[in-house]
Amino acid sequence: MAKVYLIGAGPGDHKLITLKGMEAIKKAHVVLYDRLANPKLLKYAKEDAEIIYVGKAPNNHAYTQDEINELLVEKAKGDKIVARLKGGDPLVFGRGGEEAKRLFEENIDFEFVPGVTSAISVPAYAGIPVTHRNVSTSFHVITGSEDPTKEEKTVQYEALAKLEGTLIFLMGVKNLSKISTQLIKYGKDKNTPVAVIMRGSTKEQRMVKGTLENIYDIVIENNIKNPSIIIVGNVTNLSDTLRWFDKKELFGKKVLVTRTRKQASRLSEKLEGLGAETVEFPTIEIKRPDDFKEIDKDMKKMDTYDWIIFTSVNGVNSFFERMKALKMDIRHMGQGKICAIGPATKDALEEKGLIVEYMPDVYRAEAIVELIKDKIKPGEKVLLPRADIARTVLIEELKKLGAQVTNMAIYETIVPDSKREELIDTLQNNNIDIITFTSASTVRNFITILGEENKGLLKDSKLAMIGPITADAAKDLGLTCHIEADKYTIDGLVKAIRNYSEEDGKNA
């Protein structure tokens, strides 16, 4: 059945969307999104969903409001579920009521999905509570886009000037001088504290403070523009002690994550928890082999192996997916010793109910050989479920120890179907500070997608590598490794980025 969800996407931080809003995006056939809705939310839409940008900026409208209303009607009449994604809350100066009214006229089912309005969330991200005991017992949200000096005014500045509570003006930078003048004119103390916050809850968040008398000059001097909100009142002084968001270690950094689409979220979440903003552009994709004939033959005799060595989480997942397809379980694995290259691989195996007996302190193939060289006996059989393009050093060294090695290419790593233009646009227009690489393949594929001729686009970004193998691959391609993890894990990579950022801040 046709239905339109009018969804509040929150102020900028994509994690501030509600669970109900997220559910609506996931089941929508069509998503119409605004300029202030974080594009990251679009990755939760169906792969075949129609995505339409309907953003409106001053003097630059992709669609007029009437056109948006008709587009909603048109798409919904096609018996589709439509997600209308709007910044903030759809009913706080979001024109959601107008859109709902048009849907009602056409007898189209709709729901409002309230969002976190910027009126309270943006001040919170700047350490300003809109109400606070003994400071402000009320707050008032006012449009800032109405010219206070026009003859017919809907905003009553004479009444606002008499209020003791916090005044919050949305999208009012253009009229800030007139707003301040009108409030002072009707009796507001010219020394009343004012804060203006631009792009709140995002990497670009900036706040300036002053008084009604001088805030306009301060805003001009600091080049503060919309989207911004204006907060008038003594609560703004509390930000001196309550600021938290822009104090995070990686605040202001934008990081490009090149892991597979499925794995990117773990790294992104850790970086975002430290205040960074992430952009995901997978340069590697995990693919099943085209032919399982040899793999299945080895699988069915895996109880004959003395060792099974896993060198990645992808290897573990792909191995057990194939076991499931063959209707096999861990009882078929026999008594072989289990070895994992590192903690993430170990965790993945233990989730499957296996106990890992051996894991090296240094998470690379050479360290595995060093760890088990005195334990493996000549003639023992070793199974290596791993990528089709994995390094051969492990096979070679195990054979030198007299082992019989079966290399099982249980998954393939390929370059995803990514557009060069999309990557170039990401690098040109997103001010990427750091680019992360978690394997040699992610580096090589990145340059394959980007093109040798476009490597100059990396000059302003720092390249972060998960370990020496990845760093060597980067150097072979003529790239500079600025950050390298001491511990070859996602946590190790994040720590290296934190340490680099801290040193960079000291030297700034």
What amino acid is encoded at 79 in this protein? D
Q: What is residue 354's DSSP assignment?
A: P
Measured CA to CA, the distance from residue 347 to residue 314 in angstroms comes to 12
Measured CA to CA, the distance from residue 155 to residue 336 in angstroms comes to 77
What amino acid is encoded at 43 in this protein? K
CA angle 187, 188, 194 (to 5 degrees): 165
Nearest to 319 by CA among 351, 288, 293: 288
Q: Which residues contact 332 (CB under 8 A, 6 or more apart)?
A: 302, 303, 323
Clarify whether 293 is annotated catalytic.
Answer: no
Q: Is the peptide bond before 123 cis (omega within 30 degrees of 0)?
A: no
What amino acid is encoded at 448 in this protein? T
Q: Which of 13, 75, 86, 171 is catalytic?
A: 171
Q: What are phi and psi of 230, to 5 degrees?
A: -115, 130
Q: Which of 56, 381, 475, 495 is catalytic?
A: 56
Measured between alpha carbons, how far is residue 484 from residues 383, 445, 474 in Å? 31, 19, 11
Clarify whether 56 is annotated catalytic.
Answer: yes
Q: Which residues contact 294 (CB under 8 A, 6 or more apart)?
A: none
Clarify whether 333 is annotated catalytic.
Answer: no
Using an 8 Å Cβ cutoff, are 296 and 326 in contact? yes
Measured CA to CA, the distance from residue 212 to residue 196 in angstroms comes to 11
Measured CA to CA, the distance from residue 224 to residue 503 in angstroms comes to 29
Measured CA to CA, the distance from residue 71 to residue 69 in angstroms comes to 5
Q: Give catalytic residue positions.
A: 34, 56, 171
